[in-house]
């Protein structure tokens, strides 16, 4: 993605409603999955594919030995500033790790960046041990494509059935598959439709839709959207801005 977007992400991720609410959902699903599928394993080997600026890696350190992969030197420099180690600069379509070496793989808002998403999904499957799990998120609904996606260097947004087929074709069993970011979906969809309908096309470099908000609005959105974590743990949500998949490599 555009280099300035890494700087923006690092500046906003500890306070901005989107990052805070998403983190709450991800950790809730992740901890439930680890208790269910990985509780008998010790010294978990965890790989964060597309680790970005390292916020998730910090959370994962309490859950196992973590390796972070990213192609961007800017992203990896932010990881080092956090004091993170076990970092690898890599093309994630060809992950430089041994086959069946990981118990848990995370790939959050990564797969949509990669030209060959089938190769990436096959690589995630390859590096997982039998019975290992992958937690993945992608942006949903191609109709919501906007300058936000261009600024992030997205290759695509996914239809729900399309992403499911990608996962199953790689050999995974789907343990949980749901939309997420449901509470903000109507507002975000309306906002992007209005931008396309009423705003002139700009010749300036595209930017994401993340921008500073009044503290009260940021806190309200964080609370409203973050409340989905409890719902997501119990049910699959019927709509949302993103798709979340918990996939497991079969034991045999």
Paired strand residues for 212: none
Q: What percent of the chain has pLDDT over 90?
A: 76
- Does the pLDDT at position 35 exceed 60? yes
pLDDT tens for 135-192 read 999 999 999 998 889 988 999 999 999 999 999 999 999 999 999 999 999 988 888 8
Give me the CATH code for the 3-248 domain, please. Answer: 3.40.50.150
pTM of this prediction?
0.92
Average pLDDT of the residues of the chain: 92
The pLDDT, as a whole number, for residue 10 is 87
Please state the domain extents for the chain.
Answer: 3-248
Q: Are 222 and 214 in contact (CB under 8 A)?
A: no
Distance CA 224, CA 208 (A): 21
The pLDDT, as a whole number, for residue 82 is 96
Residue 20: which residues within 8 A CB-CB, separation 6 or more? 14, 222, 226
Distance CA 108, CA 54 (A): 12
pLDDT tens for 65-83 read 999 999 999 999 999 999 9
- pLDDT bin (cut points 50, 70, 90) of residue 203 is very low
Q: Are 163 and 135 in contact (CB under 8 A)?
A: no
Paired strand residues for 34: none
- pLDDT bin (cut points 50, 70, 90) of residue 111 is very high
The pLDDT, as a whole number, for residue 106 is 98
The token pair at 163 is 């992403």
**Which residue did the predictor score with more confidence, 19 or 197?**
19
Distance CA 124, CA 100 (A): 10
pLDDT tens for 217-246 read 999 999 989 999 999 999 999 999 999 999
Distance CA 168, CA 44 (A): 24
In the sheet that holds 87-89, the strands lie side by side as 87-89, 65-70, 45-49, 102-108, 128-139, 242-248, 173-180
Q: Which of 78, 75, 140 is nearest to 111 (CA)?
A: 140
- pLDDT bin (cut points 50, 70, 90) of residue 2 is confident
Element holding 49 (H helix, E strand) = strand 45-49
The pLDDT, as a whole number, for residue 11 is 85
pLDDT tens for 118-144 read 999 999 999 999 999 999 999 999 999
The pLDDT, as a whole number, for residue 54 is 95
């Amino acid at each position: 993605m555009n280099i300035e977007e890494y700087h923006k992400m690092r500046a906003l991720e500890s306070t901005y409603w989107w990052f805070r609410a998403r983190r709450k959902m991800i950790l809730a699903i992740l901890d439930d999955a680890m208790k269910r599928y990985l509780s008998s394993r010790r010294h978990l080997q965890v790989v964060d594919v597309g680790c970005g600026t390292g916020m998730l890696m910090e959370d994962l350190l309490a859950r196992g030995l973590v390796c972070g992969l990213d192609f961007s030197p800017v992203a990896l420099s932010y990881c080092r500033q956090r004091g993170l180690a076990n970092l690898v600069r890599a093309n994630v379509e060809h992950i430089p790790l041994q086959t069946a070496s990981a118990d848990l793989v995370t790939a959050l808002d990564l797969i949509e960046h990669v030209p060959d998403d089938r190769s990436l999904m096959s690589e995630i499957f390859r590096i997982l041990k039998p019975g290992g799990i992958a937690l993945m998120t992608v942006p949903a609904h191609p109709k919501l494509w906007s300058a936000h996606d261009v600024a992030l260097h997205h290759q695509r947004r996914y239809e729900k059935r399309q992403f499911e087929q990608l996962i199953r074709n790689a050999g995974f069993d789907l343990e949980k598959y749901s939309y997420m970011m449901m509470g903000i979906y109507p507002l975000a969809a309306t906002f992007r439709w209005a931008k396309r309908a009423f705003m002139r096309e700009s010749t300036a470099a595209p930017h994401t839709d993340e921008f500073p908000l009044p503290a009260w609005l940021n806190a309200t959105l964080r609370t409203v959207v973050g409340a989905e974590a409890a719902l997501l743990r119990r049910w699959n949500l019927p709509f949302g801005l993103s798709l979340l998949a918990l996939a497991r490599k079969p034991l045999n």
